[in-house]
Amino acid sequence: MMSGRKIQWACVNVCRMVVALTFILSGFVKAVDPLGTQYKIHDYLAAAGMADIVPDVVTLGLSVLLAAVEFSMGVFLLFAIHRRTVSRLMLAFMVVMTPLTLWLALTDPVKDCGCFGDAVVLTNWETFAKNVVLLVCTFVIFRRPMMMVRFISKTNQWIILNYTVLFILVSSVYCLYYLPVLDFRPYHVGADIKKGMEIPDGAEQPQFETTFILEKNGTRKEFTVDNYPDSTWTFVDSKTVQTAAGYVPEIHDFYMQTLDGEEDVTDKILDEEGYTFLLISPHIEQADDLNFGDIDVIYEYCMDHGYSFRCLTASNEDAIQRWRDITGAEYEFLHADETTLKTVIRSNPGLMLLKHGVVLWKWSHNDLPDLDENAPRLEDTVYGTVKQESFTETVTEIVLWFMLPLLLLTFADRMWAWTGWLRKKKNSNKRYQRLNKKNMRKKIVAGNWKMNMNLQEGVALAKELNEALTADKPNCDVIICTPFIHLASVAQILDKDVIGLGAENCADKEKGAYTGEVSAEMVKSTGAQYVILGHSERRGYYGETSEILKEKTLLALKNGLKVIFCIGESLEEREANKQNEVVKAELEGSVFNLTAEEFKNIVIAYEPIWAIGTGKTATSEQAEEIHAYIRSIIAEKYGEDVANETSILYGGSCKASNAPELFAKEDIDGGLIGGASLKATDFKGIIDAWK
């Protein structure tokens, strides 16, 4: 059983397809025949008595615009682009159009609504019914626009949007300049006009009914032939109405007659065995006269080869004379029905080539054939037979022109979305693994007392801290690194399982005559397990170079101490964006000489010098970025496993207030705390960030 939501989803998407395809078809057939749509708009305006007010250029613009809007909206709906806006516009469109078509159906001012051009001819009631269906569909879509499935991602939809609008506008202009690429009218290339005019034997005849109005003794009454009364009634009036249309041939209004109206030459011309050129101009006064020279050349060509050439127009003789004066036309003019001429060819003037009533070729005045005095006889040119064009091929070509780029784009887009999904999945797996690794790494909060507190103060602080952390077990490793003189005493106080102990430095020599120095071995003998090396204050104030630190590290490890190795850039280096270079060089200079096994005893402390004791903390993003970089270069050097096991601490104005945000980052495994490690409560606040 389908759930209610699924049914809704199916309804929305079915409705969306119905509306989209209808709009695409309707917009497209209008776009391939902009003049046809313009004529239809003109018919509507004429029905409303406004035909003379609105200039042709406006009706033509409206025609192109209407086609572009319908087609584009259909495509947007098909691809589910700007779903909310398009569904609202569609509904608004149908809310206006449906009552309008009801009015058309009721009043019948124009016979065929023209919604699908000449491709599909609907009666006004059929159009109204179609619009009711579309109105319901657009309402369904409007209620749940977000249920429409996207065929293209939001980031790429602009391509479809622009391509669609461009395609449909270019199509309209192309068909306007040349001729409609698809001709749905009865005068298409290959059509036999005489055949189109035939009424088959036994075809249904039109039916008429006459009503008679008669009067007797002052009373008026209506009668038909069936109940016509006796002669005591006096005839007043009669009316005849057509009750059945009868058979109407496809071509029913094609005629050609001489300008004086004396002779109908339709049959004569359609029966001509030879080639007949018909220059078609519904209104010769409005015809484009730019190419009259080419027309005259074709006329001359016809005269040379014995082909007939005539001009059909609905204009009056004055207009015809004006055309003759302008162009020097010598060809014969005939009168024909204006609407018929507009239907025959969508160009003013346009040229049609007939042979025995069959349409061989049609040309717009912008695209006339090259038939001058040097051209061979028609029989020896392509024009001698019916132009080879296949409706299916043309449709396929158009569909490919429009759909192929869109299909390729959609395919690429979907592939990208799919690989994006895979990448996301992979990343989330990676992230999960990395977070998992983070959980497996040691989380450490280490205090660096620096040169603060005398022995008594230090012992008191160590005691306080030991008590606090014994009572409230930390969720991380806690280390305090003290000046040398505190070490032995503090070691006695600390519960080793709760707080580790470290020195702040050790000598770079093993033993001997180095007055004032304290060796790694001596540090170890106090009970300490750690030593801080490479702190920026020692590098800066005491000139400790990478080489010295390399020696110190080796000695510390040799004596069983773990090393908290500090690295970090100065403010100038950060401003020059050299932080990565700096930390890499510091690691390479002092600890990357170690074996992977030895390196496991190193804890890295990244401390940007500009953040130490200044109150300026690196943002958690800045810190995470460089921590991740440090881990990546450790991975390059020692492999992923070692990198994932190495704890990297952040140091520099770390406090209880910012520690949680910093420690939440994937590659930050704790902190090396200066100032805030000198008060038990402050330090514990930071330790508690891990809880």
Q: Alpha-carbon dihedral of residues 350, 356, 359, 365, nearest 10 degrees? A: -20
Instruction: Say if residues 87 and 135 touch (Cβ distance below 8 Å).
Output: no
Q: Fill in the per-residue mask, 512 to 551: x = in contact with ligand G3H (CB under 6 A), - = not in contact.
A: -----------------------x----------------
From CA 412, how far away is CA 406, in angstroms rounded? 10
Q: Which stretch binds ligand G3H (CB under 6 A): 111-119, 218-226, 423-431, 606-614?
A: 606-614
**Cβ contacts of 168 within 8 Å, gap of 6 or more:** 27, 28, 31, 67, 68, 71, 72
The yes or no reply on residue 674 touching ligand G3H (CB under 6 A) is yes
Q: Which of 448, 505, 647, 658 binds ligand G3H (CB under 6 A)?
A: 448
Regarding 673 and contact with ligand G3H (CB under 6 A), the answer is yes
- What CA–CA distances, in Å, run from 371 to 310, 348, 380, 381, 384? 16, 20, 12, 10, 12
Binding segment for ligand G3H among 318-326, 347-355, 651-659, 661-669 (CB under 6 A)?
Answer: 651-659
What does the DSSP 8-state code read for residue 608? -
Strands 477-482 and 648-650, by their bridges, are: unpaired
Closer residue to ligand G3H (CB): 135 or 649: 649
Residue 648 forms beta bridges with which residues?
604
Residue (180 or 447) nearer to ligand G3H, CB: 447
Q: Exactly one of 535, 537, 569, 624 is catalytic; which is it?
A: 535
Output the smallest distance, CB 445 to ligand G3H, in A. 11
Distance CA 77, CA 150 (A): 9
Nearest to 74, CA basis, from 115, 108, 114: 115
Among 508, 607, 624, 667, contact with ligand G3H (rule: CB under 6 A): 607
3-state secondary structure (DSSP) of residue 30: helix
The closest of 31, 154, 150, 136 to 90, measured between CA atoms, is: 136
- Which of 537, 607, 624, 627 is labelled catalytic? 607
Q: At its nearest, how many Å lie between ligand G3H and the CB of residue 601? A: 19
Binding segment for ligand G3H (CB under 6 A), chosen from 103-111, 310-318, 469-477, 648-656, is 648-656
Q: Is 535 among the residues known to form the active site?
A: yes
Considering beta carbons, is residue 72 or 653 the nearer one to ligand G3H?
653
Residues 567, 605 contacting (CB under 8 angstroms):
yes
Report the residue count for the chain: 691
Residue found by looking up tokens 């024909």 in the block: 336
Q: Which is nearer to ligand G3H, 186 or 652 (CB)?
A: 652
Span from 358-366, 618-626, 650-658, 680-688 in contact with ligand G3H (CB under 6 A) = 650-658
| DSSP assignment letter at 290 | T
Site for ligand G3H contains 675 (CB under 6 A): yes
Bridge-based pairing of strands 648-650 and 350-355 is unpaired
Assess 493 for contact with ligand G3H (CB under 6 A): no
State yes or no: 448 annotated in a binding site: yes
Nearer to ligand G3H by Cβ, of 349 and 502: the residue is: 502
Q: Has 449 been labeled as part of a binding site? A: yes
Q: Which of 293, 376, 613, 639 binds ligand G3H (CB under 6 A)?
A: 613
CB 593, CB 550: distance < 8 Å: yes
Residues belonging to the binding site for substrate are 448-450, 613, 653, 674-675
Output the known binding site.
Answer: 448-450, 613, 653, 674-675
Active site residues: 535, 607
Site residues (vs ligand G3H, CB under 6 A): 448, 535, 607, 612-613, 651-654, 672-676
